């Protein structure tokens, strides 16, 4: 197996040879064998071990074992303990997902802190097959059928060409010890049930199952790559990036063959799962939305807008005191200065009569029921109607701020000032507010 491993590195992962590597080692068969293979292949690496505190003394014994492994291999080791159960409860995650999030977050910290290049994990052919079957059972597309990627955002999995039996044979031949996690013997988790009840009969039916699956996944990956190239071409035609948000032209999308498949390809990487609801947005009214864990898709007239979900508990009210010159809010900067004469009108500027303002001014998100006297217009207008007439999208509306003097709107920021505070012939002092 060692020679096959070296051949795999030379052919497919040659960039690992000169790199500084972080090996994720739990103490189990897979990661221990990986560490020995990397040592014999003369790679430059250190070990990282996560103690998730989930198995009492056994977790601490795993940590001690990996420390001894590091000593025997003459490599450095980093260890970290996690309050996994508490984190899972606080974040409302399963224990497995919580452990994964904690693990990878720490790995990326180690990469940055110690100037390491890649994290190596010991996922192998069995893991990839199990992932494929799990995805298939839940419904998936091409990406879900291709199993575990070999390289993904600094995470490299050099053992994917090998199955668990290969690793067991290598460990036995080289008299390598490892720690056994008894939780892997139970059928409490779906993956374990796939591992114990589904895969063995398949292997019994086809002794070359892993080679067959790897060929199939390689073919699917080529098809996926071809589809991604086609999607990139469509993306450039159908989608506009405006201030970090994506605008998808609905009419052009509907005219594109296989509309649903194209929409899936455009959006599947953003975590959406309610695909029927997404397809219905193509014929929905303005304002309808579908959410993923990180993003939302909003119908707005002739487009679908893809944007990140707004942050929860964001502060929405600020005070601008008379002595203040600047105010930071929601990632923006509002600057105040006294000037001698009016400048060229721009949406991000407000020229106001200083003496008409009642400090401290209040800066807040707009609210239902707000009304003001738009500059250049007669009378009062509801702000909701004004924003509608200005064709402000539902997402943009959520980011509209107003500057208040007492209970009166002074400026709908980035849109229009209020007539009552405009600069007139008898104005003695002009103040300019700039949104930077």
Instruction: Locate the DSSP E strands across 70-168.
Output: 77-81, 118-120, 151-152, 155-156
**Rounded distance between C-alpha atoms, residue 403 and residue 424, angstroms:** 20
Is 31 labelled as part of a ligand binding site? Answer: yes
Residue 374's beta-bridge partner residues?
418
Residue 291's beta-bridge partner residues?
296
DSSP 366-422: --TT-EE-BTTS-S-EEHHHHHHHTT--HHHHHT-EEEEETTEEEEETTTEEBGGG-
Which of 235, 214, 384, 363 has the alpha carbon at shortest distance from 306? 235
**Rounded distance between C-alpha atoms, residue 402 and residue 405, angstroms:** 10
Is 72 labelled as part of a ligand binding site? Answer: no
Is 26 labelled as part of a ligand binding site? Answer: yes
Judge if the upstream peptide bond of residue 245 is cis by omega within 30 degrees of 0. Answer: no
Angle, helix 209-238 to helix 125-138, in steps of 10 degrees: 60
The DSSP code for 311 is P
Is 9 labelled as part of a ligand binding site? Answer: no
Dihedral angle of Cα 128, 130, 134, 137, to the nearest 10 degrees = 110
Task: Give burial (CB, 10 Å; 0-12/13-18/19+) of 23.
Answer: buried
Residue 118's beta-bridge partner residues?
21
With beta carbons less than 8 A apart as the criterion, state whether 380 and 371 touch.
yes
- How many Cβ atoms sit within 10 Å of the Cβ of residue 301? 11
Is the Cα torsion angle 243, 248, 252, 258 positive or negative in sign? positive
Is 81 labelled as part of a ligand binding site? Answer: no
Residue with tokens 């452990």: 99
**Rounded distance between C-alpha atoms, residue 208 and residue 194, angstroms:** 18
Query: Maximum CA pair distance of the chain?
Result: 95
With beta carbons less than 8 A apart as the criterion, state whether 147 and 220 touch.
no
* Residue list, annotated binding site for ATP: 26-31
* Residue list, annotated binding site: 26-31
């Amino acid at each position: 197996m060692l020679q096959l491993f070296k051949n795999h590195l030379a052919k497919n992962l040659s960039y690992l040879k000169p790199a500084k590597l972080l090996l994720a080692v739990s103490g189990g068969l897979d990661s221990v064998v990986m560490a020995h293979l990397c040592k014999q292949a003369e790679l430059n690496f250190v070990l990282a071990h996560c103690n998730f505190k989930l198995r009492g003394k056994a977790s601490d014994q795993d940590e001690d074992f990996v420390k001894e492994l590091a000593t025997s291999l003459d490599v450095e080791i980093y260890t970290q303990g996690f309050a996994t159960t508490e984190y899972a409860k606080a974040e409302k995650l399963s224990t497995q997902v919580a452990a994964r999030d904690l693990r990878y977050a720490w790995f990326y910290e180690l990469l940055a802190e110690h100037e390491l290049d890649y994290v190596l994990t010991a996922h192998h052919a069995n893991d990839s097959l199990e992932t494929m079957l799990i995805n298939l059972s839940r419904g998936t597309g091409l990406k879900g059928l291709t199993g575990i990627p070999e390289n993904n955002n600094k995470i490299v999995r050099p053992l994917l060409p090998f199955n668990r039996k290969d690793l067991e044979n290598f460990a036995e031949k080289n008299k390598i010890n490892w720690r056994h996690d008894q939780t892997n013997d139970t059928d409490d988790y779906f993956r374990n049930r796939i591992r114990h009840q589904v895969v063995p009969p398949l292997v019994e039916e086809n002794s070359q199952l892993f080679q067959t699956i790897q060929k199939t996944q390689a073919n699917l990956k080529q098809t996926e790559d071809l589809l991604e190239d086609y999607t990139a071409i469509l993306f450039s035609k159908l989608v506009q990036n405006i201030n970090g948000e994506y605008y998808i032209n609905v009419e052009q999308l509907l005219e594109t063959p296989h509309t649903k498949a194209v929409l899936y390809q455009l959006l599947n990487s953003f975590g959406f799962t309610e695909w029927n609801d997404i397809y219905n947005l193509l014929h929905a009214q303005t304002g309808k939305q579908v959410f993923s864990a990180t993003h939302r898709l909003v119908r707005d007239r002739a487009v679908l807008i893809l944007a990140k979900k707004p942050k929860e508990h964001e502060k929405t009210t600020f005070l601008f005191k008379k002595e203040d010159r600047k105010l930071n809010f929601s990632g923006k900067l509002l600057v105040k200065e006294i000037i001698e004469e009016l400048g060229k009108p721009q949406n991000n500027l407000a020229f106001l009569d200083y003496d008409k303002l009642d400090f401290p001014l209040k800066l807040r998100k707009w609210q239902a029921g707000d009304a003001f006297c738009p500059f250049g217009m007669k009378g009062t207008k509801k702000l909701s109607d004004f924003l509608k007439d200005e064709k402000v999208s539902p997402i943009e509306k959520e980011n509209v701020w107003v500057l208040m003097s007492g209970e009166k709107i002074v400026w709908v920021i980035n849109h229009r000032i209020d007539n009552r505070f405009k600069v007139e012939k008898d104005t003695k002092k002009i103040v300019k507010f700039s949104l930077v």
